[in-house]
Structure 1
Amino acid sequence: MNFIDSLSNNKIFWAAVLAWFIAQTLKVIHTLIIDKRINFSRFVGSGGMPSSHSALVTALTTAIGLTHGFDSGLFALSLCFSLVVMYDAAGVRNAVGKQAVILNKMIEDLQTKKNKGLVKQSENRLKELIGHTPFEVFAGAILGIVVAKILI
């Protein structure tokens, strides 16, 4: 069996991909409801509700547990990987997003108030929506578990 055939028959892989896809689609829908506009860039963007990173890794971990057993080394490895990803999403990446908000505001203030003409206009603002709130991570994790339970 070749690689493509093996991958196309891998339910664990497809559970993770489907959970990611659903989470990213929900971000577009969430933006439509909240901002009253369609923003397809949310489909590939990071941050927001729900966490697609959490959905992907928890679907992967749950599918591995259901397939190989929750006492397997593969499940333990995947669980540790998932916890690191979710901690990073809600901790480190969320903090980076908050810092970007502050830095963008500082640059804007410098450009408009204090040093008119002395501070070079930045072409791109720092990306502010990078991480997740704990609730967004939790919602993504629940989505991933549900998708894996349905598919496996």
Structure 2
Amino acid sequence: MARELNTVVDALWANPMLWIPISAMAGVQLFKFIYEWIREGDFDLHVLVRTGGMPSSHSAMVTSLATAVGLREGLDSALFAVSTVFALIVMYDARGVRQESGKQARVVNQIVRELFSGQPISEQELKELLGHTPTEVIVGAILGFVYTLLVLPYFAGGR
């Protein structure tokens, strides 16, 4: 049993198709944390897991995945088609659905503030920064693509 578990763990650690996209996302989140720290002077670790902002780490991750799959499996492979469609759905959601949810949260928060002005409110405000602007999505996608082109060749059989 332990030998099988070690084999599974070794296979996961040795899979660049998994770790390159995850590291692309982590790198973008780290950039946002450092940028916020320098800009605001606030050492806020929550930035590392916060959604929204420039650039989109979701876009970087899924574009990195699609790029790695395309380079490894071929641009004519079914796996590349699936990963590209997945990336497009995630980026559409990051830009469209989540951004609209954030706009709705702003309106609901404003209504609650106005209705309960001067009265204690026990409810927590809704999170308003959920999604991304088109520019944030595009920049994230470009970063994921370029990062993967630069990093994948360093892995055995990268291309």
On whether the aligned pair clears a TM of 0.5, the verdict is yes
Cα deviation for residue 22 of structure 1 reads: 0.6
Q: Conserved in 2, the CA contact under 8 Å of 1:19 and 1:144?
A: yes
Of 28, 38, 45, which residue of structure 2 is paired with 1:40? 45
Of 68, 86, 98, which residue of structure 1 is paired with 2:73? 68
State the alpha-carbon separation in 2 of the partners of residues 21 and 102 from structure 1.
31
Cα deviation for residue 36 of structure 1 reads: 3.0
Compute the RMSD of aligned alpha carbons.
Answer: 1.4
Q: SS state of the match for residue 139, structure 1?
A: helix
Of 79, 84, 107, which residue of structure 2 is paired with 1:79? 84
Is 1:89 aligned to residue 66 of structure 2? no
What code does the residue aligned with 2:125 have? R
What code does the residue aligned with 2:32 have? K
1:122-133 to 2 correspondences below 5 Å: 122-133=122-133
Is 1:30 aligned to residue 30 of structure 2? no
State the alpha-carbon separation in 1 of the partners of residues 130 and 122 from structure 2.
19
Q: Conserved in 2, the CA contact under 8 Å of 1:28 and 1:43?
A: yes
Aligned equivalent of 1:51: 56
State the alpha-carbon separation in 2 of the partners of residues 93 and 30 from structure 1.
23
State the alpha-carbon separation in 2 of the partners of residues 136 and 129 from structure 1.
13
What code does the residue aligned with 1:133 have? T
State the alpha-carbon separation in 2 of the partners of residues 62 and 77 from structure 1.
12
Between 30-39 and 3-12, the greater mean CA deviation after superposition: 30-39
State the alpha-carbon separation in 1 of the partners of residues 82 and 90 from structure 2.
13
Aligned equivalent of 2:137: 137
Aligned equivalent of 2:156: none
State the alpha-carbon separation in 1 of the partners of residues 122 and 100 from structure 2.
22
State the alpha-carbon separation in 2 of the partners of residues 15 and 143 from structure 1.
12
1:4-23 to 2 correspondences below 5 Å: 4-23=9-28
**TM-score, structure 2 length as denominator?**
0.87
Cα deviation for residue 35 of structure 1 reads: 2.6
| Cα distance per residue 1:29-58 (max 9 Å; x no partner) | 232244332221010111111111111100
Identical amino acids, percent of aligned pairs:
46
1:90-109 to 2 correspondences below 5 Å: 90-109=95-114
**TM-score, structure 1 length as denominator?**
0.91
Q: Which runs of 4+ in 1 moved over 3 A?
A: none
Between 103-112 and 72-81, the greater mean CA deviation after superposition: 103-112
Cα deviation for residue 102 of structure 1 reads: 1.3
